Amino acid sequence: MSITLTSFGYLHLPTGPDGTPIPPTADRIEDVRDRLRDPAAARDILDLDGFDPRVQEVVLNTPGACELIDNLTEYASLPAGPRRIAIGCAGGRHRASALVELLAKALRERGREVNIEHLHVHLPRVLKQEAR
């Protein structure tokens, strides 16, 4: 059974009537905006994205990131585990896309077939402050 991992940016999502962003459909959605420090503040990776090993290293070294990857890997490995996991950050360019790539690697090492969707990684970096 394959699993689909999706990265996205909350600031790029459509909103419902109440103005709340509507995330992609998934069995589990991880919102890392408040859980993991935004690596975009590191000037040397500012214009890179989560495909770049430097961004992945910065994200992986953020407190809480390894634990999140481990938790999601275990969850996705359950016999009746999820078919879709979505990870969102502010813009979808750094944290979410790097985490999806890292999680995909961990799952493939366990023999899982993984499909990846990056919804917003190709969009320009979000420069406005996020309203929450």
pLDDT tens, residue by residue, 31-48: 999 989 877 667 778 889
Does position 132 have pLDDT exceeding 60, yes or no? no
Looking at the domain assignment, is residue 132 inside a domain?
no
pLDDT tens, residue by residue, 76-92: 999 888 999 999 999 99
Looking at the domain assignment, is residue 126 inside a domain?
no
Of the listed ranges 2-16, 83-97, 117-131, the one predicted with least confidence: 117-131
Looking at the domain assignment, is residue 131 inside a domain?
no
Give the count of beta carbons closer than 10 Å to the beta carbon of residue 86: 23
Rounded to whole angstroms, the Cα distance separating 46 from 38 reads 10
Looking at the domain assignment, is residue 82 inside a domain?
yes
What is the value of pTM for the model shown?
0.91
Half-sphere exposure of 113 (CA within 13 A, CB side): 3
Name the nearest CA neighbour of 42 among 98, 110, 87: 98
Looking at the domain assignment, is residue 109 inside a domain?
yes
Contact 79, 60 (CB under 8 A): no
- State the pLDDT at residue 118: 98
Looking at the domain assignment, is residue 98 inside a domain?
yes
Looking at the domain assignment, is residue 129 inside a domain?
no
How many separate domains does the chain show?
1
